[in-house]
């Protein structure tokens, strides 16, 4: 086992960072919103921008499976079906332009868009508006940008959070719906990373297997945390962490 770990050529600090990122992914998928996007800039710094997307994707899927297993009964498929077709379109567009548009340009545009949405949600809460009309174009726009963001940098969390929060669905329904959405869209991305971007290989999968225990521990830690957070503070946590995570995309 030690020889396998040494074969990657990573330093001890690289392994500690990777294990920490695995833990954060687990907590994010269990419902501790915003923690997952923290790993995007960290992994990009350690492993490189495009390469890190392929390394992180199997980590996300591992956590998605556990999240779906636990929160399956809470998912609202009506919201998933509304955004999924547009998310797939976004993924395919990102696949084509991924080598043309720089990560920095896209992250800046995405950050501005999501932060504008967060400001809108806060204004809605302050004005005590009961709900957002469930327009088809709202799901289309956010679904497309969510798909684009998840292919470019596994950074669709704030976009989907914006959509689901705007629908004002309860805490566990929010988590279950997001869990199923990301499991499906991440599985869709796997062959694209393998055959087109070549960022998922036998070596990266082996690397992910080593990190699996940290991800699983993160999932169970996240489940415990979510259980003790009441509904209103949870909404505040999601809004605030979405805003912070969006700001991180600038860097």
pLDDT digits (tens, 9 = 90+) for 14-59: 888 889 999 989 998 888 866 766 777 778 777 777 788 888 999 9
Q: What is the pLDDT of residue 11?
A: 79
Longest dimension (CA), the chain: 60
Q: How many CB atoms lie within 10 A of CB 19?
A: 17
CA 46 to chain centre: 19
Does the pLDDT of residue 3 top 60, yes or no?
no
Percent of the chain with pLDDT over 90: 32
Q: What is the pLDDT of residue 181?
A: 96
At 124, is the pLDDT very low, low, confident or very high (cuts 50, 70, 90)? low
Could you tell me which residues come within 8 angstroms of residue 73 by beta carbon, excluding any fewer than 6 positions away? 176
Local structure of 47: helix, strand or coil: helix
Does the pLDDT of residue 191 top 70, yes or no?
yes
Which of 169, 150, 144, 167 lies closest to 71, judged by CA? 169
Q: What is the mean pLDDT of residues 164-171?
A: 84
Q: What is the pTM of this model?
A: 0.84
Asked whether 230 and 222 are in contact (CB, 8 A), the reply is: no
């Amino acid at each position: 086992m030690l020889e396998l770990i040494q074969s990657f050529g990573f330093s001890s600090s690289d392994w500690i960072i990777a294990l920490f990122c695995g833990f954060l992914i687990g907590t994010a998928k269990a419902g501790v919103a915003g923690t997952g996007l923290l790993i995007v800039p960290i992994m990009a710094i350690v492993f490189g921008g495009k390469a890190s997307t392929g390394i992180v994707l199997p980590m996300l899927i591992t956590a998605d499976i556990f999240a779906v297993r636990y929160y399956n009964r809470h998912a609202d498929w009506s919201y998933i079906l509304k955004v999924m077709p547009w998310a797939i379109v976004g993924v395919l567009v990102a696949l084509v332009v991924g080598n043309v548009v720089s990560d920095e340009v896209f992250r800046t545009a995405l950050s501005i868009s999501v932060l504008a949405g967060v400001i809108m949600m806060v204004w809605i809460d302050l004005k005590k508006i009961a709900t957002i009309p469930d327009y088809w174009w709202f799901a289309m726009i956010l679904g497309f940008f969510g798909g684009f963001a998840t292919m470019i940098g596994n950074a669709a969390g704030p976009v989907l959070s914006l959509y689901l929060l705007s629908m004002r669905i309860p805490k566990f329904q929010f988590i279950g719906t997001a869990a199923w959405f990301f499991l499906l869209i991440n599985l869709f991305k796997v062959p694209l990373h393998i055959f087109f971007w070549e960022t998922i290989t036998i070596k990266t999968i082996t690397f992910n297997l080593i990190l699996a225990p940290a991800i699983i521990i993160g999932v169970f830690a996240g489940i415990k945390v979510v259980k003790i957070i009441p509904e209103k503070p949870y909404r505040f946590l999601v809004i605030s962490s979405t805003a912070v995570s969006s700001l991180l995309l600038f860097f």
